[in-house]
Structure 1
Amino acid sequence: GAAVRAAVPERANRGGLRVRGQLRGRRRHGAGPGLLSGERGAHGRPHAPWRRDEMVPRPARSALPRRPDCMGMMNQSLFLVGEIGGNDYNIPLLSRVPFEKIRTFTPSVVAKISSTVTVHLQELIGLGAKTLVVPGNLPIGCVPNYLMIFKSDKKEDYEPETGCLRWMNEFSKYHNRLLIDELEKLRKLHPGVSIIYADYYGAAMEIYRSPEQFGIDHPLAACCGGGGPYGVSMTARCGYGEYKVCDDPQKYGSWDGFHPSEAAYKGIAIGLLRGTYTQPSISTTISSCPQLTELGSSVEYKVLYDL
């Protein structure tokens, strides 16, 4: 990770993949850039075209040749490709596009993720990369804004152990199953590269099932927002209107009603580094990344929370 930070200039933050910010754990606005091409996505809403020429490989190529150890640095680095495609779901959901229609274009979103990973994979392999991590979808049924917008009087619409919306989480799992299948195809095409699936869903659900283990008191509420049971409202959102900010963000599962809090991200990182929620296990596939191997083999909750 440190190697990539040294090699990729800050301008690489423009465009769909913000590798430097991802590796430093910096929270960005947006929930994963949209993938569906053209001025309108499959859901029929305006869609910003995704410019490949602004993504990571171009600035990476321009920076690496100036370093004599670039090949060694690249094959000892771990590349996080994603999370991608979130806005292909967020935009239609917020626009109240019928859920049945959203489900129909999920295969197209996943196919685009696969093709995007392939584009970067070819370039990164040429630069010496050996290990890529591709994250799946988070449990969107636990997102405070969606819990507010799609509030239901039906008890069966909610998961009893978490309070999350069952049907939305089922959709996240559907997306992730399709993505896992696509990554398996990519592994067969590139046997010399470790392509790791990061199960963000499973790692995050650990937090929603047992928030007290992560020091979180309000797993389904936003720290910054408009109040209410989920910390969000239709009249005020984080940074706009008469919004409120909590006293202790570490006690909340969400920062602004859409993005996980730092406390939640740390909990997710624990599951990933231990290898519990990576396929194949990150602990057995990152021998070329000694810092991560050491951290993953001895990680404890307190260690990560002190980072």
Structure 2
Amino acid sequence: MRSCHRMAAAVLLTLLCSSWVLAAAAAQKYNAIFNFGDSITDTGNLCTNGKPSQITFTQPPYGETYFGTPTCRCCNGRVIVDFLSSKFGLPFLPPSKSTTADFKKGANMAITGATAMDADFFRSLGLSDKIWNNGPISFQLQWFQQITSSVCGQKCKSYLANSLFVFGEFGGNDYNAMLFGNYNADQASTYTPTIVNTISNGIEKLIAMGATDIVVPGVLPIGCFPIYLTIYGTSNSGDYDSLGCLKKFNDLSTNHNNQLQTKIANLQAKYKSARIMYADFYSGVYDMVKNPQNYGFSTAFEACCGSGGGKYNYQNSARCGMAGASACSNPAASLSWDGIHLTEAAYKQITDGWLNGPYCRPAILHS
């Protein structure tokens, strides 16, 4: 009889614990989400004054899967911050450059082409012509500060303490500028400490303003992306890993991510009341390349939208959104949307990996 009581008590305890965990997850609410970054999460900052026709992602078939029209997202549909907003019952984030939006529930500072470093840095490297859009971290922080005065006035600390921040990905375009400007991957990696320091300083500025929950994504395994595989493909099998990704570019990403994680660990030790989460873009996407079928993908290396060019369906002269390019019939079966950015289906999987783990440490959802 006693063992029955013990068993009943154990079952009750299990039920109570599991319901407490569910309640904790349900209770995790945010006032708002504030996002910073580049084309991976831009939701329209480049199009607030109309859609510049010379930019490919303002043209169909961008946006076809979810919105039915181009929205200035570099995707066939929603991006990570859209899925995060939905998860926490918030509206899609308006671009911070909008003059009519209400930013009370969040804003998106991300802008396509954004870098971590300021223009002076690239000028000093002789790469000014590779930076076509000026929206570095320093500018995005200024845009954010302009918004907060109207959102929370004098009570910003408490408001921002109950908001979720996503800071990045930053670094990808800094490396692109170098790699497409005739720097090799080893030369580019010598600037990684400077880039990571700039990201870290940005995080500290947010914490000083009152942010406590901050997701900091690393960079992606660019050596697995159609654009790099097409432009830098070689006949030397030793340049590729076992999956078919270019090793030297993935080494650049890994080095950046390792240094970033060290910085995050230092910041977490310094700011005990903050919750700084490292979002592991690299491992999540690399697993999709390794096991595409686990995610419903039939192809990991071929861009869905392109002009049928070569092994990876990527041609610089006929990119997605240009004449001659078209989208595949089922974008959800592809990891890569346009050879540079991922599909909505991939971003959904990534978001799940950040919310629940294993690709965010700690996971966004409290356990």
Q: Given residue 174 of structure 1, which amino acid in structure 2 is its aligned partner? A: N
2:346 partner amino acid: A
- Are positions 1:96 and 2:182 aligned together? yes
User: Where do 5+ consecutive residues of structure 2 fail to align?
Assistant: 1-28, 35-42, 47-78, 84-91, 93-107
8 Å Cα contact 1:133-1:197 kept in structure 2 = yes
Structure 2 CA distance for aligned equivalents of residues 85 and 40 of structure 1: 13
Q: How many Å apart are 1:71 and its aligned residue?
A: 6.6
Q: In the alignment, is residue 188 of structure 1 matched against residue 188 of structure 2?
A: no
Residue aligning to 1:175? 256
Paired positions, count: 267
Confirm or deny that 1:154 pairs with 2:201: no
Cα distance per residue 1:26-78 (max 9 Å; x no partner)? 898736x2122234516421143632564323302321249x9x776644432
The secondary structure found in structure 1 opposite 2:278 is strand
What's the CA shift for 1:88? 0.3
Q: TM-score normalised to the size of structure 1?
A: 0.77
1:69-120 superposed Cα distances (whole Å, 9 cap, x missing partner): x776644432111111211011221233222221111111111111111112
- The match for 2:81 among 19, 23, 27 is 23
1:206 maps to which residue? Answer: 287
Q: What percent of counterpart residues are identical?
A: 31
Change (3 A) 1:136 1:181: same
Q: Deviations over 1:267-296 (max 9, x none)?
A: 22222222212223444xx3xxxxxx6xxx
TM-score under structure 2 normalisation? 0.66
Distance 1:136 1:130 in 2: 19
Q: Kindly tell me: are residues 61 and 275 of structure 1, through their superposed partners in 2, closer, same or farther at Cα, counting changes over 3 Å?
A: farther
CA distance in 2, matches of 1:205, 1:233: 23
Whether the 8 Å contact between 1:207 and 1:267 is mirrored in structure 2 is no
Q: CA deviation at 1:158?
A: 1.5
Quick check: 1:35–1:84 contact (8 Å CA) kept in 2?
Answer: yes
5+ residue gaps, structure 1: 7-11, 16-20, 287-292, 294-307
For residues 95 and 225 of structure 1, the distance between their equivalents in structure 2, rounded to whole angstroms, comes to 24
Partner of 1:249: 331
Amino acid at match of 2:150: S
1:226 maps to a residue whose letter is: S
Other-structure match for 1:223: 304
Is 1:81–1:117's contact at 8 Å kept on the other side of the alignment? yes
CA deviation string 1:130-184 (max 9, x = no partner): 3111000111111110010111112122121x22112211111100001011112
Partner of 2:212: 130
Q: Which has the larger radius of gyration?
A: 2
Partner of 1:132, secondary structure, is strand
CA distance in 2, matches of 1:206, 1:110: 24
Bigger RCO (CA 8 Å, 6+ sep): 2
1:140 partner amino acid: I
* Aligned residue number for residue 303 of structure 1: none
RMSD: 2.8
Query: Whole-Å Cα distance in 1 between the matches of residues 233 and 357 of structure 2?
Result: 35
